[in-house]
Structure 1
Amino acid sequence: MDSTRSRGPAWARGTGGRVVGIAAAVLLVVAVAVSCSSGDGDTGVPVQGGGPDAGLTGVRAPSDTAGGTLRVVTGEVDSLDPQRSYLPGVWNLMRLYTRTLVTFSTEPGRSDQLVADLATDLGTSPDGGTTWTFTLREGARFETGRPITSRDVKYGIERSFASDVVVGGPTQVVELLDDPGNPYAGPYQDEAPDKLGLAAVETPDDRTITFRLRSPQPDFPYVMALPSSSPVPIENDTAGDYGRDPVSSGPYAISSVDPVTGIVLDRNPQWDGATDDVRTALPDRVIVRTGLTGVERDQALLAGSADVDVSGTGVQAATTARLAEGAGGEVPVTERVDEVTSGVVRLLALPTNVAPLDNPACRAAVAAAIDRRAVQERLGGAVNAVRTSQLWPRALEGGPEESDPEPDLAAARESLATCGQPDGFRTVLAVPDATISVAVADEIAGQLGEIGIQVEVRPLAAPSFYATDVGNPDNVAANGFGIVLATWTADVPTPGSFLEPLVDGRSISPVGNTNFARLADPAVDGLIDAARAAAGDPGAARAAWSEVATAATATGAYVPLTETRVQLLAGQRLRNGVVMSAYTSYDLATAGVR
């Protein structure tokens, strides 16, 4: 994997610039076309276009006709258990069989905003974000026919606390709701006689649920939009095996899971569209082919044997070349493409506990020497990456102004002299062992070599890179990792979710640390507190978070490089293609094929 928190890996690009030969491509088209064929007779429908970027602010090939089989392709699926998955492509799939109190909008251009789902509204907080109360709609049921209650929502959230059984998913609810003085071990170890469960969540009746957080959190409704906050019926919970047959609360239920035929979802007869303002549930069936490479997924879309790729990676280099040629016959392929800036920021972290990068002037020297244009070219050019010098995803409004600085070697040498290293110094650059990341690391090493900084590029095993190699500050210091090349994206699209894990000194942890630079600056922490306090005024809050980003960048602890761009290719039959910006894919909640 080539990113952090299990979210980046599915989104980060890693083509290595290799082009698939024509013969191999043809074989892939045939093989994937056969394996993805739905057999429902829908393959003869006209090819849908819509125009470039039609799904970004509008609906690609709109239709309200039900029926047919939606054919989905993706890479690996980590888990079908909503509390155990940490891949946005799987989260997109889960919109079909899990519901949450709130969820992301299906309205074009607003898919990063929240709307009510199982709840009647986005929640209310009487005290600035410490206490949140939601009221459930009436009429929503599990596929078993039992009504969904507030206790089911609470139980689903409690499962995330069972770190010995339910592993791999988001843990924000644990951080926000657990009592450090009396930790909750999850429902499987709950030995309390009354079995009331997590004390921070109250369910006074079947339709009311109240959360009492450890500290104010204005972004809490976004946490409730994650599948890990979906309801689970306790009577059907099989602990670590729940992902084999999760109980549906949405319009589809999982019928079968097979490595060859894929994941099959059929209509859930207990779902009532009158209780769901989000999902259109047009297809009769959804089939998901998993474990396909990026090239295989692209070829399936080009061949017409797949309708949508939910992996979030966009098309591969070989396909990008074909898009540039304008291929596609009657409806050019370019008419089926949406270009999306993904929110995945590639950056350098300069750990403040590793000499000589513990000196701000030495960090300033590194920042001044960086040539972002050259990094962008290594990543495949503007089609794959946009340059950035700010700790702020472009899709979020209200951030610091982008300066796009050129390298300044004279200023870099002055900073080296200021930090007592006029001839440069030696350091180690830690990088995930993935082709494209190592290529970028080599480029950075060459740039720093021009000012005398001799960099050893050290590729480390991707699966353990973020968890233990650079996620342990002591390990970083012990190995002399003066520079870390990382990619970072927030779990939810808010400034606080992007910035706090990276720059809040109080977020540093001995394991799984995401403050890669080990930045512990009281001034930055104070600005974070001010931004939290401004939560009641959205405009003031954005401005306050912008100050956090500016101050954190000024420390030199992070050097932003690029933000990943992807090209989404809609399948020939895809109807109602709406780009889901939070998952960098087309929204399965609205997709159809007729």
Structure 2
Amino acid sequence: MASNKKRMLAVTAGALLASTALAACGSDDDGGTKGEAGAKGGTLYFVNDTPIDHWDPQRTYVGTDISKQSRLVYRELVTFGTSEDPAESATPLPDLATDTGTSTEGGKVWQFTLRDGVKWQDGKDITCEDLKYGFSRNFATDVIVGGPSFYPLSYLDVPADADGTPQYKGPYTKKGQDLYDKAVTCDGKTITYNFNKPWPDFNLAIAALHFASPYRADLDEGDKSNYQIFSNGPYKLEGSWDKASGGTFVRNDQYDPKTDETDSRKALPDKITFKIGTKLETMYDSILADTGEASCTVSDRRLPPSKFSEIPALEEKGFYQNPESPYVDYLWFNTEKLPLEVRQALATATNREGWITAGGGERSYIPAYSVVNPSVAGYKEVSTFKDIPLAGDPDAAKKILTDAKIKTPYKIELRYPQSDTADKQAAALKETWDKAGFDVKLSPEGDVYYSNIQKPDHNYDVGWAGWGADWPSPMTVLPPLFDSRANITSGSLGQDYGKYVGKEFNEKISEAQNATSLDDSIAALQEADQILADDMVYMPLEIAKFNWVTGSKVDFHTTPGSNSFPDLGLIGLRDGGC
């Protein structure tokens, strides 16, 4: 989940969302920062200390990156607007399509019709075939990895192989192409999707993610397309994208605002320059100094705890926001490698209190008792996690190992994405784990961490991850994280980093997916979460809070539709800009 990084998507539960997070975004009554509104023009600088994993829409599964793409370069059939009202923000709006879709057969069939006049950056029309091809890329699980392919693979009406994966293997091999062509069809500008079970909120899924984005077959180079940004939105990439340093976006002259009835693409800056690779603390030293380019700078990386002494002054000026996010950070355990008792002992000795303190305390986190965020409908604390003391219980953990006759010290390696703060948090975990009878090695990684934990052959013991609901539905948490049937393929573990294959859990997910009422579905999901706790598949840590600080010339906005991250569709520059 990203700084909450690997898959932090904040479009949690619209009408289901108790939006404590975004009400606190600004210092004025209207939710914005103090000062005049942003004007059109100037250059906005967007800084980040770590590389962006993907610009390929089908491979993007990080909330802040989904938001950037939606607001700047990629349009969807439907999208979310900019309202801060929970119910309104969860209502899809027509975007590339003429309406929000037509559903028949109880949600098993969906149709959308493309509007006239929508074009790619080279002036060519976006076609139904572009939509069909884009959707097909999800099935090339050995090439298009890292994205939310769990959903298309689970729902599309394509027969399955013996291992449960679809017989269609994507557009590069074309194996099973005839099966795909029956499931997704084009008739002029109308595309039809046929599913194997009801998907009543499919249009919400399209609005929230990019797995259904149109893609040009003639431009597709598979894995080489990861940073080849080809726009149909208000901006286009100038030159090429450099993973290590970033790139600059300028106005796309083929984008016609008249074809865009949403309110999410004001496209105020003339240019948006992304700068990648500056150390987090150095980056914020510059923003806090607020001179030159820094006064026109925004980041989707939270203010680090080392800078929290600056907060009172920032609050007084109106340049600090501290919303509670819809994301939960958690530890995953390699269920294929670690015995149940080892996983239970690790969870019992987990020092959430120390983790939170090292990460900045109550300004950064509140404790979590499930991987499901409390804002999601059907949330229920899992007693197994609630009963573990926040500081951990090393003595109880040691007894679990002793009773199971597990030889100690038991060697454990913790992997996580490196940062100064994460190093301190990992050290807090190591302290109580070592006391419990473990010999813990801390192994931080750089940007390769996220791709490494999705490799089916990884041999990691324990790792860190984070999650927020994919769209306003409780079905978008446990299934995409732990349902092995669509997650674990030869090319990727999806989000099932701990390689969990739980027959009872999978059956409970099927029960939830086929339930005839929301109450029955929620009840099945709550039982599924308890199964995960009994199998000790994960250990919840905390619910992340954001700490946003910008340069003084930035008219800052964040909305549910931007996944609680800086909303580049609304942000402009004031006082003459830069």
What TM-score comes out, normalization by structure 2 length?
0.77
Q: In structure 2, do the counterparts of structure 1 residues 233 and 562 end up closer, same or farther at CA, with 3 Å as the change threshold?
A: same
Q: In structure 2, do the counterparts of structure 1 residues 351 and 91 end up closer, same or farther at CA, with 3 Å as the change threshold?
A: closer
Q: Is the 8 A contact 1:400 1:550 kept in 2?
A: no
- Give the match's secondary structure for 2:355: helix
Question: What is the CA–CA distance in structure 2 between the aligned matches of 1:223 and 1:56, rounded to whole Å?
Answer: 32
Question: What is the CA–CA distance in structure 2 between the aligned matches of 1:191 and 1:522, rounded to whole Å?
Answer: 28
Q: In structure 2, do the counterparts of structure 1 residues 473 and 576 end up closer, same or farther at CA, with 3 Å as the change threshold?
A: closer
Q: 2:483 aligns with which of 504, 508, 512?
A: 504
Q: In structure 2, do the counterparts of structure 1 residues 65 and 582 end up closer, same or farther at CA, with 3 Å as the change threshold?
A: closer
- Give the match's secondary structure for 2:111: strand
Matched, 1:446 2:431: yes
Identify the residue that residue 332 of structure 1 maps to in structure 2.
Answer: 316
Question: What is the CA–CA distance in structure 2 between the aligned matches of 1:52 and 1:351, rounded to whole Å?
Answer: 38
- Give the match's secondary structure for 1:529: helix
Question: What is the CA–CA distance in structure 2 between the aligned matches of 1:400 and 1:51, rounded to whole Å?
Answer: 24
Structure 1 residue 98 displacement after superposition: 1.5
Question: What is the CA–CA distance in structure 2 between the aligned matches of 1:121 and 1:272, rounded to whole Å?
Answer: 17
Output aligned runs, 1:571-582, within 5 Å: 571-575=551-555, 577-580=557-560
- Give the match's secondary structure for 2:330: strand
Question: What is the CA–CA distance in structure 2 between the aligned matches of 1:68 and 1:447, rounded to whole Å?
Answer: 53
Q: Is the 8 A contact 2:122 2:254 kept in 1?
A: no
Identify the residue that residue 84 of structure 2 maps to in structure 1.
Answer: 108
Question: What is the CA–CA distance in structure 2 between the aligned matches of 1:516 and 1:233, rounded to whole Å?
Answer: 31
Residue identity matched to 2:432: Q
Q: Is the 8 A contact 1:172 1:223 kept in 2?
A: no
Q: In structure 2, do the counterparts of structure 1 residues 233 and 364 end up closer, same or farther at CA, with 3 Å as the change threshold?
A: closer
Residue identity matched to 1:67: K
Q: In structure 2, do the counterparts of structure 1 residues 116 and 55 end up closer, same or farther at CA, with 3 Å as the change threshold?
A: farther
- Give the match's secondary structure for 1:229: coil
Identify the residue that residue 192 of structure 2 maps to in structure 1.
Answer: 210
Question: What is the CA–CA distance in structure 1 between the aligned matches of 2:352 and 2:64, rounded to whole Å?
Answer: 29
Structure 1 residue 154 displacement after superposition: 1.5
Q: Is the 8 A contact 2:38 2:555 kept in 1?
A: no
Identify the residue that residue 13 of structure 2 maps to in structure 1.
Answer: none
Q: Is the 8 A contact 1:82 1:227 kept in 2?
A: yes
Residue identity matched to 1:250: G
Identify the residue that residue 53 of structure 1 maps to in structure 2.
Answer: 25
Question: What is the CA–CA distance in structure 2 between the aligned matches of 1:128 and 1:376, rounded to whole Å?
Answer: 45
Residue identity matched to 1:91: I
- Give the match's secondary structure for 2:505: helix
Structure 1 residue 73 displacement after superposition: 0.8
Structure 1 residue 488 displacement after superposition: 2.6
Structure 1 residue 464 displacement after superposition: 5.0
Q: Is the 8 A contact 1:99 1:117 kept in 2?
A: yes
Question: What is the CA–CA distance in structure 2 between the aligned matches of 1:592 and 1:70, rounded to whole Å?
Answer: 9
Residue identity matched to 1:503: F
Residue identity matched to 2:188: D
Matched, 1:298 2:271: no
Output aligned runs, 1:377-526, within 5 Å: 377-401=357-381, 403=386, 405-406=388-389, 407-408=392-393, 411-412=396-397, 415-416=400-401, 418-420=403-405, 426-432=410-416, 434-435=418-419, 436-451=421-436, 453-459=437-443, 461-463=445-447, 465=449, 467-468=451-452, 471-472=455-456, 475=459, 481=461, 484-490=462-468, 492-493=470-471, 494-506=473-485, 507-509=487-489, 512-513=492-493, 514-526=495-507
Question: What is the CA–CA distance in structure 2 between the aligned matches of 1:63 and 1:541, rounded to whole Å?
Answer: 47
Identify the residue that residue 224 of structure 1 maps to in structure 2.
Answer: 206
Question: What is the CA–CA distance in structure 2 between the aligned matches of 1:244 and 1:517, rounded to whole Å?
Answer: 28
Structure 1 residue 426 displacement after superposition: 1.5
Structure 1 residue 90 displacement after superposition: 3.5
C-alpha offsets along residues 185-207 of structure 1, whole Å, 9 cap, x if unaligned? Answer: 54455599x9997442111221x
Residue identity matched to 2:256: W
Residue identity matched to 1:314: R
Q: 2:525 aligns with which of 545, 559, 570?
A: 545
C-alpha offsets along residues 421-467 of structure 1, whole Å, 9 cap, x if unaligned? Answer: 5x86523133236254444343223213434x222325164455554
Structure 1 residue 279 displacement after superposition: 2.6
Identify the residue that residue 589 of structure 1 maps to in structure 2.
Answer: 569
Structure 1 residue 567 displacement after superposition: 0.5
Structure 1 residue 573 displacement after superposition: 2.9
Which deviates the most, 303-312 or 523-532? 303-312
Question: What is the CA–CA distance in structure 2 between the aligned matches of 1:438 and 1:261, rounded to whole Å?
Answer: 26
Residue identity matched to 2:528: V
Output aligned runs, 1:92-107, within 5 Å: 92-94=67-69, 95-107=71-83
Question: What is the CA–CA distance in structure 2 between the aligned matches of 1:292 and 1:236, rounded to whole Å?
Answer: 29
Question: What is the CA–CA distance in structure 1 between the aligned matches of 2:77 and 2:94, rounded to whole Å?
Answer: 7
- Give the match's secondary structure for 1:577: coil
Identify the residue that residue 12 of structure 1 maps to in structure 2.
Answer: none
C-alpha offsets along residues 21-53 of structure 1, whole Å, 9 cap, x if unaligned? Answer: xxxxxxxxxxxxxxxxxxxxxxxxxxxxx9963
Matched, 1:346 2:346: no
Q: Is the 8 A contact 1:118 1:140 kept in 2?
A: yes
Identify the residue that residue 112 of structure 2 maps to in structure 1.
Answer: 134
Structure 1 residue 383 displacement after superposition: 1.7
Identify the residue that residue 41 of structure 1 maps to in structure 2.
Answer: none
Output aligned runs, 1:33-432, within 5 Å: 53-54=25-26, 58-60=30-32, 67-75=40-48, 76-94=51-69, 95-110=71-86, 111=89, 114-161=92-139, 169-172=147-150, 175-176=153-154, 177=156, 180-181=160-161, 183-184=167-168, 186-187=170-171, 198-206=181-189, 208-218=190-200, 220-225=202-207, 226-234=209-217, 246-257=229-240, 262-268=247-253, 270-273=255-258, 275-283=260-268, 285-293=270-278, 294-302=280-288, 303=290, 305-306=293-294, 312-324=300-312, 326-327=313-314, 332-333=316-317, 335-354=318-337, 357-359=339-341, 363-401=343-381, 403=386, 405-406=388-389, 407-408=392-393, 411-412=396-397, 415-416=400-401, 418-420=403-405, 426-432=410-416
Structure 1 residue 371 displacement after superposition: 3.0
What TM-score comes out, normalization by structure 1 length?
0.75
Name structure 2 gaps, 5 residues minimum: 10-21
State the Cα RMSD in Å.
4.2
Residue identity matched to 1:358: L
Identify the residue that residue 12 of structure 2 maps to in structure 1.
Answer: none
Q: In structure 2, do the counterparts of structure 1 residues 515 and 576 end up closer, same or farther at CA, with 3 Å as the change threshold?
A: closer
Q: In structure 2, do the counterparts of structure 1 residues 3 and 550 end up closer, same or farther at CA, with 3 Å as the change threshold?
A: farther
Question: What is the CA–CA distance in structure 2 between the aligned matches of 1:103 and 1:540, rounded to whole Å?
Answer: 29
Q: In structure 2, do the counterparts of structure 1 residues 519 and 143 end up closer, same or farther at CA, with 3 Å as the change threshold?
A: closer
Which deviates the most, 492-501 or 57-66? 57-66
Question: What is the CA–CA distance in structure 2 between the aligned matches of 1:118 and 1:274, rounded to whole Å?
Answer: 8
Question: What is the CA–CA distance in structure 2 between the aligned matches of 1:195 and 1:56, rounded to whole Å?
Answer: 56
Q: 2:546 aligns with which of 566, 570, 573?
A: 566
Q: Is the 8 A contact 2:120 2:254 kept in 1?
A: no
Question: What is the CA–CA distance in structure 2 between the aligned matches of 1:444 and 1:491, rounded to whole Å?
Answer: 26
Question: What is the CA–CA distance in structure 2 between the aligned matches of 1:97 and 1:550, rounded to whole Å?
Answer: 41
Question: What is the CA–CA distance in structure 2 between the aligned matches of 1:581 and 1:315, rounded to whole Å?
Answer: 22
Structure (1 or 2) with the larger CA radius of gyration: 1
Residue identity matched to 2:300: G
Q: Is the 8 A contact 1:575 1:593 kept in 2?
A: yes
Question: What is the CA–CA distance in structure 1 between the aligned matches of 2:204 and 2:127, rounded to whole Å?
Answer: 20
Structure 1 residue 141 displacement after superposition: 3.6
Structure 1 residue 541 displacement after superposition: 3.4
- Give the match's secondary structure for 2:347: helix
Name structure 1 gaps, 5 residues minimum: 10-49
C-alpha offsets along residues 71-99 of structure 1, whole Å, 9 cap, x if unaligned? Answer: 03133344544345455444333222211
C-alpha offsets along residues 520-552 of structure 1, whole Å, 9 cap, x if unaligned? Answer: 444322321222123x64455344423322332
Identify the residue that residue 18 of structure 1 maps to in structure 2.
Answer: none
Structure 1 residue 323 displacement after superposition: 1.6
Q: Is the 8 A contact 2:58 2:212 kept in 1?
A: yes
C-alpha offsets along residues 155-210 of structure 1, whole Å, 9 cap, x if unaligned? Answer: 23334555677666543465244655585454455599x9997442111221x211
- Give the match's secondary structure for 1:400: coil
